[in-house]
Amino acid sequence: MKIAKDPVCNMSVDPKNPGAMETYNGKTYYFCSSKCKATFDRNRDRFIEKA
Ligand SMILES: [Zn+2]
């Protein structure tokens, strides 16, 4: 996988240089910034459903 998608803002994120990342339920999520990660953390179920 060369390009990941930020599940919060739908921006493309380079997995080699993400703003933030998190592994949850065995899946790694990449974010453009720690702000999007914080939003994800507050509302995981909603964003995982969309991904
Ligand atoms: Zn984002």
Please give the pLDDT value at position 48. 86
Q: How far is the CA of 14 from the centre of ligand 1 (A)?
A: 12
The whole-number average pLDDT for the span 1-11 is 91
- The 3-state DSSP composition of the chain as helix, strand, coil percent (nearest 5) reads 30, 25, 40
Distance, CA of 8 to CA of 5 (rounded, Å): 9
Q: How far is the CA of 32 from the centre of ligand 1 (A)?
A: 4
Q: Domain range for residue 18?
A: 4-50
**Statement: the pTM of the whole predicted model exceeds 0.75:** yes
CATH number of the domain bearing residue 27: 2.30.170
Please give the pLDDT value at position 4. 96
Q: How many domains does the chain have?
A: 1
pLDDT digit string, tens, across residues 17-48: 999 999 998 999 999 999 999 999 999 999 98
Q: How far is the CA of 12 from the centre of ligand 1 (A)?
A: 8
Q: How far is the CA of 31 from the centre of ligand 1 (A)?
A: 5
Q: How far is the CA of 43 from the centre of ligand 1 (A)?
A: 14
